[in-house]
Amino acid sequence: MSTASPMAPRPKHRRPTKALRRADPAAPAIANAIYDAVGIRISKLPIKSEAVLAAIIAKVRQAVE
């Protein structure tokens, strides 16, 4: 039988909870919208405008070659 109280003080150095580590639930919808608009699949989160622009430039360069 445990003698620990449910109201025992918590340690000061705790890991972040799962809720803090979860990605934004809108991220898949945003990634799909980018794919539908320009045909580029972005899989790295967070989706940044610089990454989208770099992927567009790479796609255009690939089409030119």
Chain segment 6-22, per-residue pLDDT in tens: 666 666 666 655 554 56
Residue 51 included in any domain: yes
Residue 28 included in any domain: yes
Rounded CA separation 41/52 (Å): 9
- Count of domains observed in the chain: 1
Q: Which residue has the higher pLDDT, 2 or 51?
A: 51
- Give the angle 11-15-19 at the CA atoms, nearest 5°: 120
> What's the whole-model pTM score?
0.60
Residue 1 included in any domain: no
Rounded CA separation 34/42 (Å): 8
Residue 42 included in any domain: yes
pLDDT at residue 62, rounded to an integer: 94
Rounded CA separation 19/25 (Å): 11
DSSP 8: P
Residue 37, domain extent: 24-64
- Chain-centroid distance, C-alpha 55: 17
Residue 47 included in any domain: yes
Residue 15 included in any domain: no
Q: Which two tokens stand for residue 11?
A: 């340690």
Residue 40 included in any domain: yes
Residue 34 included in any domain: yes
